[in-house]
Structure 1
Amino acid sequence: MNQELAAVGIDAFDESVYRALLVRQAAVPSELADGLDASTERVGRALARLHDRGLVGRLSGTRRRYAAIDPQHAVQALVHARTLELGRVRTAAVELFQVFEAAQRGGAEEVEIITGIEALGRWFVRLQQEAREQVRTLDRPPYALTTANPVEETAMRQGVVYRAVYAPEALEWAGVLDDIKRLVGHGEEARVLPGLRVKLAIADDDLALMPLSLDMTDVRAAVIRPSALLDALVDYWRLCWRQAAPLFGDATGAMDDAPGEEDRLVLSLLVSGLKDEAIARQMGWSVRTMRRRMSRLHELLGATNRFQAGVIAARRGWL
């Protein structure tokens, strides 16, 4: 199979489906399946993925008929998106080097290593209780204790501002999305960032807590006090915050044709990088219902793929 598009995230089978569609210009999955020696269902799933990546378009009508989009523009858009992703990785690498360099310079009084799930939980509670102005977090699975954070609601009632950046994987854990919705209702500012690999909590600019690995069977974490290392972690959090997308949109000031809360949530989950199956689970829908709702949103936005839908929704203030 051809693999020329692997560098932009298109696997070999999907590329073969795209090439077959380019020859036909338009087709239904069954028309491509025989020539590819594959099942109609597998070809249909590949076309759905290609549609999400902007390489094919869905034609109107009751049949699942797809048309190839001009590769000169469609593939170039994927190259541009991958270039932006690599640019963000390079920026993050610089920030992480600063963290590493600062850690090498840090003294024992500035960094304390704790071990065990119980110690991590106690320090997370203590960090929040010591905050006077704000708590900033980077959140992703796995979780050492419960996914809920009852301390946060109490702290927000006392005027502490919470800003959280979540990895998309966190939204797939049972109950987490409902927890976040409740916390946002109490004032948390929540964003989501694909590719987030660090767990971190910062109280004001005075104290940080960072697990040293994602292995929850052998927990080791660093408690960081004012130092060059803490400054670097604060800068890294700010970088993640700037790159993250709002998880729940604010309808204030949106256009008259803006979707309801449920559709805005779907768009937020879509931008966060969750796949159709994961979004459907979170919404309590079938995958077919999820895709039907997404198709309606595409029509409302005038978008042909996920990326365009996210960009247009953000420009309209729906996210």
Structure 2
Amino acid sequence: MSDGTPSLGGVGLSAAAERLYRAMLADPLAPPAGLVAGAGVAGPEYPALLAELNAHGLVGSTEGRMSAVDPRIGLGALVRERQSGLDLATQAITGLVAAFTEGQLRADPARLAEVVDGPERVAAAMASIVGEATTEVAVFDAPPYVDKKTSEHAETSLLDRGVRSRAIYAVAALEVPGYYDAVRAMIAAGETARVVPTVPLKLVVVDGRRALLPLAINDGVVRSAILVHPSALAEALAALFESVWDTGLPIPGELEEVAEPLDADERELLRLLNAGVKDEAIARRLGVSSRTLSRRVTRLLERLGAATRFQAGLQASRRGWL
């Protein structure tokens, strides 16, 4: 209202009807003429304004005359009704945006995705979509690699901003010299990681609605990539990540201390076995022969009472070793 009093226009009430309602609340026994005068409305307007208040549930008949309904009841119900309508409208926004996006894509298919050519442009596109991430960056990770240090720096920046980071590594990634230590460092920094035998493609999904797929990597340089804009295609790529994530094995960070602590080699062996790294790569990393590695694995299985490596992983998890 003009005098600074909070208005009821937000619940669909006209200014004149609101003044009449306030007059009725202030003087429940006032006759119609007094209410008209108190509300500052013309006499002929009174029946229509009373009907408006009645339609909003703000007046009712009491002993043959119309009187104001308690605001806690009348206005409370009106506000809840309006809020329910707003909630439904808010829910409709998602569908409307999807329809709008679909229409835009039909009108101009180039909006769906674009090919980014040239190392500089690819790097700029990656920096742009990752820099705009607000909730999560999800990655399929596999060799060959372009610049591990730059990638690690970008991920650390994400985690510092509170953006969730999830990565699915191909086993081959953990066999690259020095890369397993880099992965462990990122897990310690806050990344959640899993490992699978192979990933279907190299991929970065941002907030479940945008994606970047390297197309050509030559001599350690990404020559081209596809940038996927918000669309059903981007959502499908996000769903692909989730489906592979469900099949992956968690890559643990530091092992917890136990009553009978493992030595350093045993702890490392458990981590590598759980990650699915091949025996040849494990032996190379630990600096032992294949025969020595086989004996160490056998001792671990016996200690854990496991018949298979999978059972060993389960037992180690139960004992807090993974």
The CA distance in 2 between the partners of 1:106 and 1:285, in whole Å, is: 59
2:132 partner amino acid: E
Structure 1 residue 291 corresponds to structure 2 residue 311 = no
**Structure 1 stretches lacking a partner, 5+ long:** 1-102
- Hey, what does 2:135 align to over in structure 1? 133
Contact 1:248 1:265 in 2 (8 A): no
* 1:222 and 2:229 correspond: no
**2:238 match:** 234
Matches within 5 A, 1:60-209: 107-146=109-148, 148-209=151-212
Answer yes or no: is the 8 Å Cα contact 2:217–2:224 preserved in 1.
Answer: no
C-alpha distance 241-262 of structure 1, shift in aligned 2 (>3 A): farther
Q: Deviations over 1:56-108 (max 9, x none)?
A: xxxxxxxxxxxxxxxxxxxxxxxxxxxxxxxxxxxxxxxxxxxxxxx999921
Cα deviation digits, residues 168-208 of structure 1 (max 9, x gap)? 00011122111111111111111101122311111112321
Q: Name the CA distance, whole Å, in 1 between partners of 2:106 and 2:240.
A: 17
Amino acid at match of 2:187: V
User: Matched residue pairs, number?
Assistant: 216
Given the superposition, is the C-alpha separation of residues 110 and 263 from structure 1 closer, same or farther in structure 2, using an over 3 Å criterion? farther
Query: Per the alignment, do residues 150 and 235 of structure 1 end up closer, same or farther by CA in structure 2, a change over 3 Å counting?
Result: same
Name the CA distance, whole Å, in 2 between partners of 1:104 and 1:287.
58
Amino acid across the alignment from 1:202: V
CA distance in 2, matches of 1:141, 1:267: 23
Cα distance change, pair 256–110 in 1 and its aligned pair in 2 (3 A): farther
- When normalised by structure 1's length, the TM-score is 0.59
Structure 1 residue 132 displacement after superposition: 1.6
Query: Against the structure 1 CA distance between its residues 226 and 260, is the aligned structure 2 distance closer, same or farther, given a 3 Å change threshold?
Result: farther
Q: Tell me the distance in 2 between the aligned counterparts of 1:121 and 1:263.
A: 40
C-alpha distance in 2 between matches for 1:119 and 1:269: 37
Separation of aligned partners in 2, 1:105 and 1:182: 46
Find the aligned partners of 1:203 and 1:194 in 2 and give their Cα distance. Answer: 23
How far apart, in 1, do the equivalents of 2:169 and 2:106 lie? 28
Q: Deviations over 1:133-187 (max 9, x none)?
A: 2111110011233465211112211211111110000011122111111111111
- CA–CA separation in structure 2 for the residues paired with 1:308 and 1:187: 27
Q: What's the C-alpha RMSD, in Å, of the aligned pairs?
A: 3.1
Q: Which runs of 5+ in 2 are unaligned?
A: 1-104
Please give the secondary structure, in 2, of the residue aligned with 1:108. Answer: helix
Shift of 1:244: 0.5
Alpha-carbon distance in structure 2 between the residues aligned to 1:105 and 1:300:
65
Instruction: Find 1:246's aligned residue among 227, 250, 256.
Output: 250
Distance 1:210 1:123 in 2: 11
TM-score, with structure 2 as normaliser: 0.58
Partner Cα separation in structure 2 for residue 209 and residue 237 of structure 1:
13
